[in-house]
Amino acid sequence: MSLVLDIALCALILGVGLATVAGHGVFRAVIFFITYGLLLAIGWARLGAYDVALAEAAISAGLTGVLLLAAHGRLRRLSAAEEAPLRRNLPAALIATGVALALGWAWFALPDPAAPDLTAALPQSGVGNPVTAVLLNFRAWDTLLEAIILLAALIGLWMLARDRAWNEPLGLQYHARAGGVMASFGRVLPPIGLIFGVYLVWAGAETTGGAFQGGTVLAAVCLVSLMAGVLPAPRIAQTAWRAALVFGPGVFLLSGVAGAIFAQGFLALPPALAKPAIVTIEAALTLSIAVTLVLLVIGPPDDGGQDA
């Protein structure tokens, strides 16, 4: 029975993926892409990877969807949203089929996994959720560098701003009609999202959740508030936003250095202090992740005009 469900789900995922690539019209492709992310999140839940399912739904479907929709709006304003219909491209089809077949072959050629058993090491990590233990303790290097990659991407994005637009508010200008749907959303959703986001971070230590999922929910809250006009649009030069960007990576880096001085090595957490350290790092990281994601999604300052 569950196999039938999985096959149906995978067929849906593939159908929506195909529509994203081959369907007619860029706008429709964006909508299919958002649907694709939500279906894939259900797939992750079917695989038992609930942390990934949350991240997929919040980041891939939600934030990437907002990003692509906003990009489509900007391109339409520059009359660059139209595209030519799909033409058959035999070499591309051959290469794509070859890659898919090679991956399919690799699946059956893979040796059985001999995964390291984490159950013995988990009590020393300070948290009960093995995914959080891997992210914030056993493989903290990856997470630290990831936080820095987010910053690097944001700096790269800001480099695309024109000089005369540097001090403008970031992103598109939104006008929410007073009493309209967006204005009501802006009042109703943020309190709920705020509680849910903070809960996800706190719960992530023991069960499903974590800094990235919680941070994404908080980023969504911030985006809704910006679009509804509840929050003023941020500017690059504002110190508070900049401080929020570097706060999380800064705390993470400091705790890593403290580990190098007082414990076994850089980013090493002594088991007795692991839980409070992880919760502190996660809280700081969540704030920075949320702010970085918001600024990445709304894009560089833009006065809307075309280059001469």
Partner 1 sequence: MSLTVFAMTGATLVGLGVYGLLARVHMLRRIMAFNLIGSGLFLFFGAAGARGAALDPIPQALIITGIVVALAASALAVGLVVALARSSGTACLPDEAGDT
The stretches of 159-210 forming alpha helices (DSSP H) are: 181-203
Q: Which one of 6, 235, 254, 271 is in contact with partner 1 (CB under 8 A)? A: 6
Q: Which one of 38, 45, 109, 113 is in contact with partner 1 (CB under 8 A)? A: 113
Cβ neighbors of 61 (< 8 A, separation 6 or more) are: 34, 35, 36, 37, 38, 40, 41
* Ramachandran angles phi, psi of 242, nearest 5°: -65, -40
End-to-end CA distance of the chain: 61
Asked whether 172 and 298 are in contact (CB, 8 A), the reply is: yes
Selection from 186, 208, 214 nearest residue 290 by Cα:
214
Judged by CB under 8 A, the chain residues 144 through 173 that form the site for partner 1 are 146, 149-150, 153-154, 156-157, 160
| Least spacing, CB of residue 129 vs partner 1, in Å | 8
Q: Which one of 33, 190, 193, 227 is in contact with partner 1 (CB under 8 A)? A: 33
Judged by CB under 8 A, the chain residues 191 through 230 that form the site for partner 1 are 210, 212
Judged by CB under 8 A, the chain residues 62 through 91 that form the site for partner 1 are 63-64, 67-68, 71-72, 74-75, 78-81, 83-84, 86-87, 89, 91
The smaller minimum CB distance to partner 1, of residues 120 and 178, is found at 120
Number of residues in contact with partner 1 under rule CB under 8 A: 96
Judged by CB under 8 A, the chain residues 169 through 188 that form the site for partner 1 are none
The smaller minimum CB distance to partner 1, of residues 108 and 178, is found at 108
| Least spacing, CB of residue 96 vs partner 1, in Å | 4
Q: How far is CA 247 from CA 21, 93, 269, 290, 292, in A?
A: 39, 46, 20, 12, 11
Judged by CB under 8 A, the chain residues 114 through 143 that form the site for partner 1 are 115-119, 130-131, 133-135, 138-139, 142-143
d(CA 34, CA 52): 16
The smaller minimum CB distance to partner 1, of residues 97 and 167, is found at 97
Query: Site mask, partner 1, residues 272-301, x = CB under 8 A?
Result: -----------------x---x--xx-xx-
The smaller minimum CB distance to partner 1, of residues 111 and 179, is found at 111
The C-alpha angle 178, 180, 182, rounded to 5 degrees, equals: 100
Q: Kindly state whether residue 28 participates in binding partner 1, applying the rule CB under 8 A.
A: no
Asked whether 236 and 74 are in contact (CB, 8 A), the reply is: no
φ/ψ bin of 86: left (φ > 0), alpha (ψ from -120 to 50), beta (otherwise): beta
Half-sphere exposure of 294 (CA within 13 A, CB side): 28
